[in-house]
């Protein structure tokens, strides 16, 4: 399937397609801790805000003329203080019907590559964790990130409540750049202009 996928920068006009992917996770899973699906307009604003500073990629099927979006990944601030500029948080969502096809790996690899070119050094993932897996949450995302080279750095217990259950949250990290005493500045870009 890899040969049939194109990774490109997201556009605000992708909001409706991306929201169709995301709404499944909001309404049926504890992968995201949002309770209500955002509106298309709100999602469009989220995309635009991200693109002002960080990459936001979509995986698009090239198999036919529909160019269906199969998943997306983006980066965001880890923390607001300047000393954290070299650390980001990643987010990744794959269409529920196309998981386990390598789409997540392609998206994350492209995202990490671009962030490394910007002199970002640390990629962090905040991931929901089930103490006991259930119909709303498995630990597949933790396993995926581990396969992609992320290491566990911390766990918060029973910190999120959704679907009448308590869930944990973990942080995983991966170094994607070199750390030095005279660290190069981060080259933030306005990706919306491309």
Model pTM score: 0.94
Find the distance separating the first CA and the last CA of the chain, reported in whole Å: 27
Q: What residues contact 70, with CB distance under 8 A and at least 6 apart?
A: 5, 59, 60, 61, 94, 95, 98, 101, 103
> Which tokens hold the place of 170?
């973990």
pLDDT value at position 62? Answer: 82
Domain containing residue 64: 2-179
Mean pLDDT by 10 residues, the chain (194 residues): 83 96 98 97 97 97 81 97 97 96 97 98 98 97 98 98 98 97 94 71
Please state, in angstroms and rounded to a whole number, the distance separating the CA atoms of residues 17 and 27.
Answer: 16
Question: Would residue 186 count as lying in a domain?
Answer: no
Q: What is the CATH number of the domain that holds 173?
A: 3.40.630.30
Residue-level length of the chain:
194
Instruction: Report the domain count for the chain.
Output: 1
Q: What residues form DSSP beta bridges with 128?
A: 169
Does residue 103 contact residue 59 with C-beta atoms inside 8 Å?
Answer: yes
């Amino acid at each position: 399937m890899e040969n049939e996928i194109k990774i490109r920068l997201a556009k605000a006009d992708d909001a409706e397609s991306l929201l169709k992917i995301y709404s499944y996770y909001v309404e049926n899973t504890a992968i995201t801790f949002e309770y209500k699906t955002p509106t298309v307009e709100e999602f469009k604003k989220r995309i635009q805000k991200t693109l002002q500073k960080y990459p936001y990629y979509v995986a698009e099927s090239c198999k036919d003329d529909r160019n269906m979006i199969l998943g997306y990944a983006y980066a965001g601030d880890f923390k607001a203080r300047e000393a954290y500029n070299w650390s980001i948080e990643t987010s990744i969502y794959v269409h529920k019907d196309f998981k386990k096809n390598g789409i997540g790996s392609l998206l994350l690899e492209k995202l990490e590559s671009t962030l490394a070119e910007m002199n970002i050094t640390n990629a962090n993932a905040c991931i929901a964790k089930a103490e006991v897996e259930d119909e709303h949450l498995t630990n597949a995302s933790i396993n995926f990130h581990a396969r992609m080279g992320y290491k566990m750095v911390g766990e918060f217990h029973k910190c999120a409540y959704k679907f009448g259950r308590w869930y944990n949250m973990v942080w995983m990290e991966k170094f994607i750049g070199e750390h030095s005493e005279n660290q190069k500045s981060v080259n933030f870009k306005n990706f919306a202009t491309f």
